[in-house]
Amino acid sequence: MPADTAPSVDPSRRALLVGGLVAAGGAAIAAGSARSQSAPDTMAGHDMSAMKPDPYAAPMPGMAHGDMTTVGLVDHARNGFDPTPMLTDWDTGTTEFLPDGRTLRTFEVDAIDKEIEIAPGIFFPAWTFNGRVPGPALRAKEGERLKIIFRNYGSHPHSMHFHGIHSARMDGVPGAGLIGPGEEFIYEFDAKPFGCHLYHCHALPLKRHMHKGMYGLFVIDPDPARQTDPALAAAAASRALGSPENANWQEMAMVMNAFDTNFDGANEIYAANTIGQAYMNVPIRIEKSRPVRIYLLNVTEFDPINSFHLHANFFDYYDTGTTLTPTQRTVDLIMQCQAQRGILEFSFAEHEDGMYMFHAHQSEFTELGWVGMFDVRGPEA
């Protein structure tokens, strides 16, 4: 009971009376406008009889903060893609040699309308590349000739706009590779510069075509032969997919994305690789003796930036991946604006076995799905 100015009355009676008056006061204000709310009044006792007013003070069975989770599991088989295998599912296309000895690498990409389950029970009418969101993680090597055969099986005009160096004719904007439903276009250019890039549909309105799911990683591995400095050549070799130096690395592709399921210009689900909380439900297995490299891309619409935070560890970061020396050393958080991307390198070799969390450090994104776990163990475990 709050302190009161009333003179001494039998305490129990007075308590009842004041409680009643306080309650009546609440009643009175409510009667005037049942739904208008007032700020909590310090005078009011919030007399709720025997109830514990503070939920933190009360025993709350099953109410630990570990309940911050989506409920149920996504049917990955129905979606046709699974976020765990997707981490290492690089699309390297098919190769042949050109008369001049260069490699011609050919990718085939189809635009397909598809409803996908982005969080347990929540379906999103996506526009996809090859039926998956994000689209295939295309991977080539610096200096190769690239040929991308793009077919539009969707209901709207689409394109593939590559972040790379190419001619205007191959840019994937209206008038240069933007095709209508049922049409086909072949993009051709050289793979340069090396780095961690992306492609996305550049049909207009861009925002809608992006957030409907039309984006993917486009990684160009550096050619070690082009490096004169032995240290840089070694770094390049470790990044060249298929090389012996690369074999020891645990590489994974992560695309930070989000979905505006009610089309109000704000996202309902945030994720790495589309499925909210996928890597909480199935933690990513990390063999702790081997180094980790993440090709990270941000394609979140509506929110200007996204971020990646690693728990209990620090990493080196190569912004855009176009350098062989880190652009940021020993950080545990990096920011990416829309379409920004980069490479993260770190090791858990000296760590205890355990679950190590990673997530966006915008708490809102984290709690709306963009959070995961690394399950770090030795090879024997």
Partner 1 sequence: MSEQSQPTRPPLIRLLLVLLPLAAMLASFVWIASLDPLRSFNNGAPPVEVLTVERTILDEAGIQVLVRAGGSEAMNVAQVAVDDAYWSFTQDPAGPIARGDTVWLRIPYPWVLGEAHRVAMVSNTGTVFEHEIAVAVPTPKGSAGQMRLQALVGAIVGLLPVALGLMFYPAMRGLGRQGMNVLLALTVGLLAFLLIDMTGEALELSADAAALFQGAAMVWLAALASFLLLMAIGRWRGQPEGLALSFYIALGIGLHNFGEGLAIGGAFAAGSAGLGTFLVLGFALHNVTEGIGIAAPILRIRPPLWSFAALTLLAGGPAVLGMWAGSLAYAPQWSALALAVGAGAILQVIVEVSSYLMRQNLDRQAVLLSPAVLGGFLGGIAFMYVTAALIKV
In the complex with partner 1, the residue whose CB is nearer, 66 or 175, is 66
Nearest of 204, 208, 214, 234 to residue 222 by alpha carbon: 234
What does DSSP assign to residue 176? Answer: B
Give me the residues that bind partner 1 (CB under 8 A), please. 16, 19-41, 43-44, 46-56, 58-63, 65, 67-72, 119-124, 259, 261-262, 264, 268, 276-277, 364, 367-369
- The helix, strand and coil proportions of the chain, stated in percent and rounded to the nearest 5, come to 20, 35, 45
Give CA–CA dist 255/258, Å, rounded: 10
In the complex with partner 1, the residue whose CB is nearer, 28 or 231, is 28
- Min dist CB 306 to partner 1, Å, is 15
Q: Is 207 helix (H, G, I), strand (E, B) or coil?
A: helix
In the complex with partner 1, the residue whose CB is nearer, 8 or 33, is 33
- Min dist CB 177 to partner 1, Å, is 29
- Min dist CB 260 to partner 1, Å, is 8
- Min dist CB 268 to partner 1, Å, is 6
- Min dist CB 270 to partner 1, Å, is 10
In the complex with partner 1, the residue whose CB is nearer, 251 or 260, is 260
Nearest of 99, 94, 110 to residue 179 by alpha carbon: 110
Rg of the chain over all Cα atoms, to the nearest angstrom: 27
- Min dist CB 14 to partner 1, Å, is 13
- Min dist CB 371 to partner 1, Å, is 10
- Min dist CB 69 to partner 1, Å, is 5
In the complex with partner 1, the residue whose CB is nearer, 8 or 49, is 49
In the complex with partner 1, the residue whose CB is nearer, 71 or 381, is 71
Q: With 0-12 CB in 10 A as exposed, 13-18 as middle and 19+ as buried, what is 184?
A: exposed
- In the numeric block, the tokens 């690239």 are attached to 146
∠ Cα 30 34 35 (to 5°): 120
Give CA–CA dist 231/238, Å, rounded: 11
The residue length of the chain stands at 381
Q: Which amino acid is at 165?
A: I
In the complex with partner 1, the residue whose CB is nearer, 122 or 173, is 122
In the complex with partner 1, the residue whose CB is nearer, 65 or 380, is 65
∠ Cα 277 344 136 (to 5°): 60
- Asked whether the beta carbons of 342 and 336 are under 8 A apart, the reply is yes
Q: Is 1 helix (H, G, I), strand (E, B) or coil?
A: coil
Pairing of strands 122-129, 354-359: unpaired
